Each structure stands twice: as structure tokens, then as C-alpha cells.
Structure 1
Amino acid sequence: MADPINTSKPAQEFFILGLTQDGKQFRPSDWAERLCGVMSCFRPEGSGGRNAHLQYSPYVLPTMLNGVRSVVVNEALRQLDPLAYHFVVNFAKDNDLQVIDACLLPEPGTSKT
């Protein structure tokens, strides 16, 4: 089965920032890694292999955005598992976290092949 992430156009993603709507830092400090750990089983069919449980899902990844601990969520998760997608979206809503629609672009000088 082909990877559901469409590589022919920039990935449609959004960022959950570790900041509440009023600008306060979200706690605990490892919240992004915890959320991504919970979502680690959501991956393209056949990926991950024997040690898949030790890897983050390619759809929900921890990152830093301008010095703020964040999670980048790929919209492909919605097609793969709508309930998992809504879990992540509701996590942000329930915790009053800032969400930014975006897409990750490749680093200058690199190419995807």
C-alpha cells in the first residue's frame, strides 16, 4: 500500500504550540513527547517494523518552534484514523493551546527524492 502522505505537494500540517491562548507556557514540560508517544502507533501501513513502538508516528511529531515546545500534526492522520485526529485536535482545545495552520518546507539546499 502506498504511503498516505502525498509527497507531490507540500504537506498540510498544523502546529500545536506549548502556549495557552493567554500566552502562558503549558506544563508539564514534556507534554509534546507524551502526546507524540501516545500517537506513535498511528503510521502508514507496513512502516516501522519490529521496533515501531520505539518511534514517533510520522503524522504527530514533537518539535521546537521559535523556542516553544510544539507538536506538528500532519492532516493525513485524519484520513488514516479520524478518531486519532480528533483526539489530537481536542487535546489542543481542552488545554486551551494555540494552534497554527502551516506546512513544513524542506531546509534550503535539501531535496526530497
Structure 2
Amino acid sequence: MDRTSLTPRGFTQGMLIRGITHRQREFRPGDWAERLTGVVTLFVGERRPGMHVPATRLAMPVIDGGLKSLFVADELRSVCPGAFEFVMRFAEDNDLSITVHAAPVFSVP
């Protein structure tokens, strides 16, 4: 099987929403980050080529320290303020940890 190598092309700033509450309980359901990504994708109308699930570069499910998390690019704030507000309100309503974070941006050579 051929593999595509990804090349880092810098970093982007954003918010990391970790799937753990301030009371140190893992957030459920287990696919919350993917579901939230799907909602953001509907807001911004972006689909990534070759992906069979809704995906956008502006909100990406990630694993951080063994926990399901969601990285939300700062760019979402200007592209679709409603989507950014929705995600931040979701995190606050569910008592999830939010931190400022830098994430690598990759491109396919």
C-alpha cells in the first residue's frame, strides 16, 4: 500500500478542547469530537477530499494525552463566528477543559 507523506508547513493557533471535565471525568459519548466536527462542517460548508466523514481543517478530532479532544483553529472565529461560538458554548456547558494551543499544519507534497 502506498502511503502519502505529510510535510509540516508551520503551525496554526487555536483552542484545544479536551474530553475530560474539570472534575476529571472522561466525557461521553466517545465520538463527541467527531460529532462536533460534523456540526462545524455543516456551518462552514467545507468537506475534505477523500474523507468519507464530514471533516474540516477548522475543527479536527485529535488524541491528546490519551484523551479524545477537538482542536478548533482560531480561523474559525472569523470564517464562521456562529460555529466558533457553538463549539465554545458546548465545551463550557459540558465543563470541558479549553486551552490555547498551537497545532502543526500539514500539506501533501
TM-score grouping bracket, smaller chain normalisation = 0.7 to 0.9
Q: Percent identity?
A: 33
Structure 1 counterpart SS, 2:62: strand
Residues 65-80 of structure 1: matches in 2 within 5 Å?
A: 65-80=64-79
Q: Does structure 1 retain, via aligned residues, the 8 Å contact 2:10–2:104?
A: no
CA distance in 2, matches of 1:55, 1:111: 19
* TM-score normalized by the length of structure 2: 0.77
Secondary structure of the 1:56 match is coil
Q: CA offset at residue 57 of structure 1?
A: 1.1
Give the distance between the partners of 1:77 and 1:98, measured in 2 at CA.
19
Q: Unpaired segments of 5 or more residues in structure 1?
A: 1-7
Aligned with 2:85: secondary structure? helix
CA distance in 1, matches of 2:51, 2:65: 29
Count of residue pairs the alignment pairs up = 100
Distance in 2 between the 1:20 and 1:14 partners?
A: 16
**For each residue in 1:28-68, what CA deviation from the matched residue of structure 2 results, as whole angstroms up to 9, or x when unmatched?**
11111111111123266xx757x888431110010100100
CA distance in 2, matches of 1:83, 1:77: 9
Matched, 1:56 2:55: yes
Q: Does 1:92 align with 2:91?
A: yes
CA 1:78/1:112 → structure 2, altered by over 3 Å: closer, same or farther?
Answer: same
Cα RMSD, aligned residues only:
2.7
User: How many Å apart are 1:22 and its aligned residue?
Assistant: 1.0
In the alignment, is residue 38 of structure 1 matched against residue 39 of structure 2?
yes
Query: Runs of at least 4 residues of structure 1 off by over 6 A?
Result: 110-113
Q: TM-score, normalised by structure 1?
A: 0.74
* Between structures 1 and 2, the one with greater strand share: 2
Higher relative contact order (CA 8 A, sep 6+): 2
Paired residue type of 1:67: G
